[in-house]
Structure 1
Amino acid sequence: MSGTMFWDLGGKHASRQDLLNVVGSVYTAVLFLGVQNSSFVQPVVVVERTVFYREKAARMFSALPYAFSQILVELPYVFAQAVTY
């Protein structure tokens, strides 16, 4: 819905205000995607936190490889969303 407000905005570049409008629309889109990704990740993190604490207490793995694997798992989804955008 917010994308329709900025439809065909990239073709207008006659003044400084047009450029600022384009930059603002890109900023808004990136901020929206960040908030959307955060809201999708939060429930997963809440569920996996107890598993992480249990496995860390049992000395099955450390925090750094776990965090790296979580980032690695999310990369294809974020990349696909960025390409789609």
Structure 2
Amino acid sequence: MKQLTVLSLLLLGAVAETMAEKGDSIMFAPKEHPFTQAPQAEEEQAERCARLATEIEALKGKPQRRHAALERYRLSCTEKDRLE
């Protein structure tokens, strides 16, 4: 009976040890899905440039506001490519 008690304690200790160990693997690490990642800065920039272009088209009868929008478009969408 004493041997059975000692054996069961050893087994419980071994089971508890293996359950506590997580075993994170570098090789099989979960990868992030592309749909859960935040949008890239390039996509945001392209969207902003498209919004500015539609705003410029909408401001055809208002030359001062259209010119300001056109300058914003030039600075953020076209001049940036030349600087890099």
Normalised to the residue count of structure 1, the TM-score between the two structures is 0.31
TM-score (norm 2): 0.31
Q: Which has the higher contact order (CA 8 A, sep 6+)?
A: 2
**Structure with the greater alpha carbon radius of gyration:** 2
Bigger proportion of residues as helix: 1
